[in-house]
Amino acid sequence: MEPRRYGSARLTRYSFNRTMLRRAVADGWTARRVSLDIDVEGRGEAIYEVVAGGVPFSFVAFLTTLDESEHTDRVIAERWEICGALVEGELTEELMAMCRSEIPAQESGRVDPRVLVLTRGNRSVRFFDYLVQCLADGNQPDPDLVADSGYIMRSTAFYGNGKYGMRSFSGYADDHPLRVPYRAQFVCAWMFRELSYDVVESCAFARGDAAVPFDDQWRRFFGLGNATGLGLVPYAFKHPAVVNAWVAVREIALADVRAMLRTDDLVQRLAIWIQRARTHYETGTDDDCSPFFSAAQLVPVVAAISAEFEALRDRDDLLDALYLWAEEQGPETSELVVSLLVELHDGDDDLFDDLLRAEEHHVVDPAMTLGELLRMIEERFSWLGDLDLDNVSADGNWWVISDNTEEPRRVPKSEIEPAGRDVAIDFALRIHRLSRSAQARPADQTITELLAAEPEHRLGVERVVASIDPYGEPRDNPCSPEYLPLLVQRFQLAMYGMDNFKPKSTDWLRVTLFQGAPRLDDLAAGPSDDWVLPARPLTVADRGAAT
């Protein structure tokens, strides 16, 4: 949970997008496009259907076009080119009428509990029209021009859990096929990605008889883009039980793999995954991804992993030894090795699904003594001593809700008063100050007595009591001017299953989801789970040379 470590996290076999697709195959889900009614410019409506556990779910999307100047990744935008929703049950005329009225309105609209997820986004400004024209002319795209993007459309949000009248998570029955946290959002994202392919091909065929669809090299390469900003940061700091569940899934799988003794099958499977990573990064780009590694910078990292794998491959403890070596090479190497090793895990998806349902309610015993409280702080927050929290700059920034954007922002305390709009994620500072106050009082004094005299410590006390899990606390101080939000954002996005981390500032970045993933019509064939890290498609000349 140190920033450099979780800030190097990568998607794994247990990221949410991959567990969703494995569940779809295991449970025999079916998926199809119901209708695509759009004009030559891609304006109109689309409906897709997934049947899971006998329950029909529809992705309903409304499409228009915007001037390039209106494109934005900000959630406060008032118009988008794609507005969609995942809805449950029969798609009646009455439900479609509600969708047509309310879904394009997004935050201004109001829906009902048949709607599970609300989403929106835009086309890629750089590549959408290019891709349409390529296919319309009977050609495939030039990978040197478009492969660095990895997506056709980019989403900006997947709202759920009761917002704007939608179904709350507590409203899912225990046997509901989407009862696992985030599963509904990723079903929605998967169909959004399918829409992006269909719109490009439909627009291409509308332009002339020479048009062709994406070929086999391209039909799965593109994912769905996403842009993420400061809104993720408060979530990571305010939900320790959830964060612990996410990390625990990873740690359980990693521990299981490290305990495995060498077999020829494991050696062969790991060799394939290392080669897959090598090819993926070698065919990537050298875009500036600072402070993260670009694809080009990861090429020598994979080469070093491959060399160490060859040196260790005959040892019985190969998997554990490779991990221990990677631990000494730095976070980027270590976390890439973790991702590769976890691919060898054949765990129980049902068990891991259950682990994600975290209990966040904790009761503070008012009779707890300050001695007991201080022991809890020492056991759970000893790392606070590494943060220099007595330095005046440690409390330099507020986290507030912006009036202009309705999003979390961090601002210097010297520039603005929060006026009740502050977001309380300063837990490191609060617990540090709580510890100082408790140390100055008799050890047998109760929490009640402390809070009666110093009520400002209430949140600190509640957090100490709630932090019972080993992986719940990002070990950082978000109020420091040196705090880098990108690190905890990457951790969360990797758990979602996103990749291609491309920061645009210290506060927000663009990523890709479902790149290389099965399409809707692949479900019946029972697709394998090895679709991540796709190689960039070859140019026409390279294909000829390869042949």
Phi, psi of 134 (to 5 degrees): -55, -50
Q: What is the pLDDT of residue 547?
A: 52
Handedness of CA 75, 79, 81, 87 (dihedral sign): positive
Q: What is the pLDDT of residue 364?
A: 93
Residue numbers in the chain where pLDDT is lower than 70 = 69-77, 405, 540-547
Helix axes 485-496, 16-26, angle to 10 degrees: 10
DSSP symbols for 31-98: EEEEEEEE-TTS-EEEEEEEEETTEEEEEEEEE----GGG----TT-S--SEEEEEEES---HHHHHH
Q: What is the DSSP letter of 389?
A: T
C-alpha to C-alpha distance for 145 and 147, rounded to whole angstroms: 6
Q: What is the pLDDT of residue 348?
A: 83
CA separation, residue 482 to residues 282, 417, 456, 491, 502 (Å)? 33, 20, 25, 18, 20
Q: What is the pLDDT of residue 420?
A: 76
Detail the DSSP E strand segments found in 393-506: 397-401, 408-412, 498-503
CA separation, residue 353 to residues 20, 394, 413 (Å)? 10, 38, 41
Q: What is the pLDDT of residue 481?
A: 94
C-alpha to C-alpha distance for 520 and 505, rounded to whole angstroms: 35
Phi, psi of 244 (to 5 degrees): -60, -40
Tally Cβ neighbours within 10 Å of residue 25. 17
CA dihedral of 305, 307, 309, 312, whole degrees rounded to 10: -140
Q: Which of 175, 293, 155 is nearest to 225 (CA)?
A: 155
Beta pairing, strands 408-412 & 82-88: unpaired
